[in-house]
Structure 1
Amino acid sequence: MEFKQSLAQRIIIAFALMSALVAGSFAVGIISTVHFIEEKLISAGLGGDLNRLLLAESVSDWSHRPKQDQLFYFSNGPGDFDLPPDIRHLEPGFHEVFRGPLSYHAMIEVVDGRHYALLQDQSDFEERERLLFAVVLVGFVLALALAVFLGWILARRVMAPVVRLARQVRHRDQLLGLAPPLAPDYAADEVGELAVAFDATLGRLRQALTRERMFTSDVSHELRTPLMVLASSCELLLENPALDQRARRQVERIARACEEMRDLVQTFLMLARTQREDPTMTPKATLTGVAEQLIAQWRGPIESKGLELIYKPAEDDQASEIRYNATFLLAVMGNLLRNALHYTDQGFIALTLHGRGFVVEDSGVGIPEEKREAMFEPFVRGNEQRGEGLGLGLSLVQRICVNQGWTVSLSPMEPNGCRFEVNLAPTGNER
């Protein structure tokens, strides 16, 4: 069974249910016991009174009357003593008799074929029962309230180390290599064992992150040299006047791919070093500067495909004043423009700037609704039939945004296309 309540709420509910069960059992037991004993006492008292009246009848003392709250009847008795029809069917023993709003306890005896009945008003008994019920109900409610209060206190005390451990594990500093272990802060109980398990898991995670950063850094660094060789070779080839137009376009395509690969390598290298380098030492650029640079870079490929490139600068000055990590901003905006070009065959691609972010829109094929939420995962592509991409561009955009404290969202365009909006929240790195 899956519970939706928190652990603290479950502890309080368990206390309340246990208290309700125990208090309810005690209440039922008390009421049943008191009712049984009182019924036995009343039955014994009525039996004694009836025997006294039967004795009086045996000596023909008809002037002897029952007590003020009692009624005495017997078969073929004179006047009011005659046995009424509503109790003639009762068997010998103790009974309850109801006459309209009134109720009586009745004791029936049969002597020599004659029925004798003694009735006693049970108003006092009912009053005592109501008082008993009220006392038991108040006690039950108080016990339940006390159980909830004690459960709340116990839940806070029990959950305090768990909540503290969760906050420590959730803190990003726990992934740093010099982060202190968690276990020494806790007793040798279940929470302490959980802290030991977290220490072991976080240790393995730190090692994995370290290996990933070192691998990314090493690979990115080693790829720079062959990329520079490719770029230099393309420049030399483009200077050769013997190249025909078709060959020149191919070399320009190779040069552009080398440039994109170099930017990607630089982005991965920055991501690998982002927690080890001083943020103030990274290159900075404004939103307007990056947008104009990319518009100049992508205008040719976009317009050569027959698409309209729409660029709308920001209306305020923030886009031209606030400075961001240039490598990451270029990677995010460039990947979104590249993605729009890849999936748009006709219509337009638009880049709109606002004070603390930008929007990239296109009139392309769009992204199926069932894939929309997963588009920022690695190796997920909007249309498997288009191009040779690996589905890493949007994953890289998401990773950079998380790293920098930015947000990226995807929404559909009407009648078709995509709209990506990036909000550049302050991260403390811009100036």
Structure 2
Amino acid sequence: MYRRSLRTRVAIAFALCVAVLSVAWGFAFFAAIKLTEDHVLQRQLEYAARTYPDLRTHLRGYDNAADLPQPLREWAQSNPAQGIYEFEPEELHVAVVPSSKGQSDAFVVFDVAEIEAASADDWWWLLIISVAVGTLGLLGFGLGVIVMRQAVAPVAELADVVADIDLEHLSDKDHKRIASQRFGDDEVGVLAEAIEKTLERISAFVARERYFTDSASHELRTPITVITGALELLEQSNLSADDERVIDRVRRATIDMKTTIEMFLCLARENDDALNDEHFLVKPIVSHAIEQHRHLLDGKSIDIRVDELANPGICGHPQAFSIAVNNLVRNAFEHTLNGQGPIIVTVKESALLITNRAHAGAENINPSDESSSTHGYGLGLGIVQRLCERHGWQFSLHADEGRVATSICW
């Protein structure tokens, strides 16, 4: 349970990290100043010890430019302005100050030849400073990582919990792991609560979907079975020719209704792993679809040409494939103009192609356009497209100048 919000914790963590680094750098600079000061004093004492008992001073004053050391005389005669000057080759520092006697400026010369460190010592000091700076940098980076990790720990915990959830098989344990009470009442808690509610809605939807498909599968198929049995009994009776035609229409309507029910149940089910890996042949399904819908060509002078270039087999859902083929065959038979054949069905090794002629507006067919359902195409082709997308097949439609070509590739 966190008492502060995520933004507050991140701000506090950032401020803490900056404060610690500032203190560390402050101590580092203070230590560098003290070391430099001690080093200068130590060099001065070493020089005095070497010249003892003749204690010489590094600071000397000159009232006359002619008394300056030889390298400075020419420079002093140019009447330099008051200030401090450094002469690196001679290792001299010179201060030009006004004379107390009202004469020309005086000069204070500081000889640092015996005080400044040698070049080798400079490299050592540079190395020490580089190591110190690198150490402080690594310390700051490590401290920042630790502090920020602690600040965003609840976010990382929530991400790990969500990543471990199997959305295909939600359980009560998953709901307990994502419970918003575990993450407090800050921003992370709000996000966890939203995810928790979403998972609850998904679980409820999946439960309703399973209940509906299980119930519908039984309740909708039972009347179809009863009607089919009644038709079989009627066929055994002495019927007139008109009655037989009526019975035949009822039988076809019953088959269409059964196909429609199976089609929508197939789309409604979330998954059906038992049938998704079944191996089946394409040619028998295509032949059955043609024979089942051949009555749609009664009264039309249309030929059906089947080009069996191969005898392919597919590993997948046979019922879904049969529904897709039946839709394509039915559409082709229903919307082919009288005398405008043939309807060509081509079975290839990896594709099924159905080509037919249709009305003049067929080039505007769009499987995803719901408005096209008024022409008898939209609903069937939309279902075919959804079935193919679910089962990993590729559905395509091409229409131009009244000719329609549909295909399913696997």
TM-score normalised over the length of structure 1:
0.55
Deviations 1:162-184 (A, max 9, x none): 434433242x221xxxx434344
Q: Does 1:290 align with 2:285?
A: yes
Partners in 2 of 1:299 and 1:110 — Cα distance?
120
Structure 2 CA distance, aligned partners of 1:261 and 1:103?
Answer: 110
Please tell me whether the aligned partners of residues 231 and 247 of structure 2 are also in contact (alpha carbons under 8 angstroms): no
Aligned letter for 1:134? S
Match of 2:205 among 208, 211, 218: 208
| Structure 2 residue 101 is the aligned partner of structure 1 residue 108 | no
Distance 2:336 2:222 in 1: 31
The residue number in structure 1 matching 2:308 is 312
Match of 1:398 among 386, 405, 408: 386
Aligned-residue offset at 1:209: 3.4
Conserved 8 A contact 1:182-1:195: no
Q: 1:108: Cα distance to partner? A: 1.8
Given the alignment of the two structures, is residue 407 of structure 1 paired with residue 402 of structure 2, yes or no? no
Alignment of 1:84 with 2:75, yes or no, is yes
The 2-side partners of 1:24 and 1:307 are apart by 88
Query: 1:130 Cα deviation (Å)?
Result: 2.0
Q: 1:160 to 1:207 in 2, by over 3 A?
A: closer
Report the CA distance between 1:263 and its aligned residue: 0.6
Question: 2:127 is aligned with what amino acid?
Answer: L
Aligned residues: 357
Q: Per-residue CA shift, 1:123-174, capped at 9, x if unaligned?
A: 658546523441134214533664688589978997466434433242x221
CA contact (8 A) 2:310 2:347 kept: yes
SS of alignment partner, residue 165 of structure 2: helix
CA contact (8 A) 2:346 2:354 kept: yes
Query: Structure 1 residues 215 and 28 mapped into 2: Cα distance closer, same or farther (>3 Å)?
Result: same
- In the alignment, which residue of structure 1 is the partner of 2:182? 189
Structure 1 residue 226: Cα displacement:
7.3
Task: Tell me, in whole angstroms, the C-alpha distance in 2 between the residues paired with 1:267 and 1:103.
Answer: 101
Indicate whether 1:259 and 2:255 are aligned: yes
Q: CA deviation at 1:294?
A: 1.8
Matched residue type, 1:190: F
The more displaced of 291-300 and 140-149 is 140-149
* 2:322 is the counterpart of 1:330: yes
- Between the aligned partners of 2:210 and 2:385, the Cα distance in structure 1 is 18
Aligned partners of 2:134, 2:343: CA distance in 1, in Å?
Answer: 75
Deviations 1:275-318 (A, max 9, x none): 7x9948xx9964332222124345675895968755435456x4
SS in 2 for 1:108: strand
Aligned equivalents of 2:78, 2:26: Cα separation in 1: 32
In structure 2, what is the equivalent of residue 118 of structure 1? 110
TM-score scaled by length of structure 2: 0.57
Q: Is the 8 A contact 2:65 2:77 kept in 1?
A: no
User: Shift of residue 232 of structure 1?
Assistant: 5.1
> Deviation of residue 74 (structure 1)?
7.2
Within the alignment, does 1:180 sit opposite 2:162 as a pair? no
Aligned residue among 212, 223, 226 for 1:225: 223
Gap runs ≥5 in structure 2: 1-10, 49-53, 100-104
Deviations, residues 171-211 of structure 1 (Å, cap 9, x unaligned): x221xxxx434344579521996777656544443433343
1:91 & 1:147 partners in 2: Cα distance?
A: 50
SS across alignment from 1:173: coil
Distance 1:422 1:118, change over 3 A: same
The one-letter code matched in structure 2 to 1:108 is A
RMSD: 6.1
Q: 1:225 is matched by which residue type in structure 2?
A: P
What is the percentage of aligned positions where both structures have the same residue? Answer: 15
1:367-418 CA-partner distances (Å, limit 9, x unpaired): 89xx8xxx6xxxx32774861455465346535863xxx3133457698976
| CA apart distance, 1:333 | 2.7
What are the equivalent positions in structure 2 for 1:299-378 lying under 5 Å apart?
A: 310-312=306-308, 314-315=310-311, 318=313, 325-338=317-330, 350-354=345-349, 358-360=351-353
Do residues 166 (structure 1) and 145 (structure 2) align?
no
**What secondary structure is seen at the aligned counterpart in 2 of 1:225?**
helix
- Greater C-alpha Rg: 2
Asked if the contact 1:302–1:308 (Cα under 8 Å) also holds between the matched residues in 2, the reply is no
Counterpart of 2:183, as a letter, is E
1:316-352 Cα shifts (integer Å, max 9, x gaps)? 6x45xx6x65433311332344566789888966543
